[in-house]
Amino acid sequence: MRQELAGGLLIVRASGADAVKAALTGAQSAPERIQLLLGCPVPQAAAFSFGDCSLQTQPGGVVLLTVPEARLTIGFAELRPLMFQPVEVAPALRSVFAGAVAQLLAAGHALDPHGLAHHLLGLAELVLRSALRSELDRSDAAEARRREAVAYMRAHLADPTLSAERIADALFISRRRLYQLFDDGQGVSERIRVMRIEKAKALLADPAKAARGIAEISRDCGFTNATHFSRSFRKLVGETPREFRERAR
């Protein structure tokens, strides 16, 4: 965990009996506490408890901040985009957080514990809200790029040379970034194949295209080989293109 967070990443976790129960049963109840693990420079290892909040620092630059979920003004359901996964934190936010932690380590013994608990709660709110906003912005940007990629695929389905490399070049992104946009178990090549079969189904079921042969429709959908088209169609639809057309009529 320490090595994973060294680059300034944040991991938000749930803790307490309810969190364990939710993990075992899949329940959606809110946990007792929210834990924030953030990689940032810290001057020393320490552990403090202030009321119902706690702060721990580890050598190597890992800070664990624990706060009660019920006292946060942001609901547990809203935090789901951040939960249990490394999230990149902006350098400015890391700097503010690291500075606040360093000050607490230096002067916490001389400050009121009740006031410090409120301070830690506010610090947790700052980190969570800032990270959540950045994560949602990244998700919105990724979804927009994903829609662009799908639109490009749809416009070029008839081109048998359509590939991940061509789509990435058209969108001015790397192939790695393109694959990340479609990291949903289907992938880019499979998505193209499914979209081609869906287009073929629409053409086969269209009475206006009844005079067009199966081979012509396969070419219209980007398949250079009618046999390969029929095999792919049957694998996905469960029947041959001819059987589908007859049933659609």
Residues 206, 113 share a domain: no
Instruction: Name the residue with higher pLDDT: 138 or 215.
Output: 215
pTM: 0.61
- CA 195 – CA 155 distance, rounded (Å): 11
Residues 169, 105 share a domain: no
Average per-residue pLDDT in the chain? Answer: 87
Most confidently modeled range among 22-31, 136-145, 200-209: 200-209
Residues 20, 135 share a domain: yes
CA-CA distances (angstroms) from residue 22 to 31, 72, 216, 238? 8, 19, 54, 39
Domain count, the chain: 2
Residues 217, 131 share a domain: no
Q: In this predicted structure, what is the pLDDT of residue 3?
A: 45
Residues 37, 135 share a domain: yes
Question: Would the pLDDT of 19 be above 80?
Answer: no
The residue range of the domain holding 169 is 164-248
Among residues 72, 107, 140, the one where a domain terminates is 140
Residues 13, 136 share a domain: yes
Residues 128, 69 share a domain: yes
Residues 21, 120 share a domain: yes
Residues 54, 125 share a domain: yes
**CATH at residue 218:** 1.10.10.60
Q: In this predicted structure, what is the pLDDT of residue 135?
A: 85
Instruction: Name the residue with higher pLDDT: 15 or 193.
Output: 193
